[in-house]
Amino acid sequence: MLTRIDHIGIACHDLDATVDFYRATYGFEVFHTEVNEEQGVREAMLKINDTSDGGASYLQLLEPTREDSAVGKWLAKNGEGVHHIAFGTADVDADAADIRGKGVRVLYDEPRRGSMGSRITFLHPKDCHGVLTELVTSAAVESPEH
């Protein structure tokens, strides 16, 4: 069962400048940063709030590290802006299988490693009214890592 909005992914050309905007404009601080070589992105997670299920909601800022990455291609075509929405779930495997059974294309056969040690998969945007949708099972996060 999907329990929350885990994060909104925002593609950007310059991660540092985009972080500075969200910090100066809204007061959001960076909770976690990492480079995901597999996905070809450098990212910053800005924590918005904690949630009742023990998780949290974030803005995920994504800067491509290479032009041929999915985010790099998307950014070249669409420019900066909302890239995807992610819903939190206690069991990404079960929810992906359930959603697949309803005729929605799940992009990964098996969930992959996502931000902060999470397990993720994506749903095809053409099956989700034009919205790239991510399912996330969060790893236990004890403290922020930068």
Q: Is 30 exposed, middle or buried (0-12, 13-18, 19+ CB in 10 A)?
A: middle
In the residue annotation, 84 being an active-site residue is answered as yes
Which residue has tokens 């070249």? Answer: 76
CA atoms within 13 A on the CB side of 54: 8
Catalytic residue check, 39: no
Catalytic one of 32, 43, 63, 83: 43
Strands 41-50 and 30-36: antiparallel
Active-site hit among 32, 39, 83, 134: 134
- Among left, alpha and beta (phi > 0; psi -120 to 50; other), residue 40 is left
7 has catalytic annotation: yes
129 is catalytic: no
Q: Which of 32, 39, 83, 84 is catalytic?
A: 84
Q: Are 16 and 30 in contact (CB under 8 A)?
A: no
Q: 7, 32, 39, 63: which is the annotated catalytic residue?
A: 7
The residue annotated as part of the active site, out of 32, 39, 60, 63, is 60
Annotated catalytic, 32?
Answer: no
The two structure tokens encoding residue 145 = 């890592």
Give catalytic residues, as residue numbers: 7, 43, 60, 84, 134
